[in-house]
């Protein structure tokens, strides 16, 4: 686990953009079983989260006409139970951080794994997310 003073600004990067920080497995379970569309970001301290994942999430959400009903995030390396529960919903995909998942009525409909993020250009990640929003939101 990281010291909270280190992750607070990283959390705020998404929460200030409208993402709800989920802190427990119960909160994750409730959010991901809800009706509508839920975008889940597994946040992390790594460089590709800072340079690509979080900027792409914020850009896609702010620029899209169709948007998920709910935006949530969990933090890898911090709230272990919340992250583990989110990853249960993301099976059969292996654990990956950062990663981004879109759920519709409790079902996983779109997944972006770390390897889709770190080796990709920012605009392609944004386009990927906006395409998922158009298809499912």
So which residues are the catalytic ones?
46, 48
Which residues make Cβ contacts (< 8 Å) with residue 131, sequence separation at least 6?
none
Q: Contact 26/86 with Cβ under 8 angstroms?
A: no
Cα 76 to Cα 34, 37, 120: the distances in Å are: 22, 22, 21
Q: Give the list of residues 6+ apart from residue 127 with CB closer than 8 angstroms, or none.
A: none
């Amino acid at each position: 686990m990281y010291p909270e003073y280190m992750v607070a600004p990283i959390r705020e990067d998404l929460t200030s953009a409208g993402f709800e920080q989920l802190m427990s497995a119960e909160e994750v379970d409730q959010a991901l079983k809800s009706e509508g569309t839920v975008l889940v970001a597994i946040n992390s301290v790594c460089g590709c989260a800072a340079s690509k994942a979080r900027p792409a999430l914020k850009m896609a959400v702010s620029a899209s006409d169709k948007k998920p009903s709910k935006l949530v995030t969990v933090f890898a390396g911090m709230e272990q139970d919340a992250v583990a529960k989110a990853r249960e919903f993301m099976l059969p995909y292996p654990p990956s951080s950062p990663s981004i998942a879109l759920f519709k009525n409790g079902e996983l409909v779109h997944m972006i794994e770390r390897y889709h993020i770190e080796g990709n250009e920012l605009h392609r990640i944004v386009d990927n997310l906006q395409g998922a929003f158009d298809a499912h939101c």
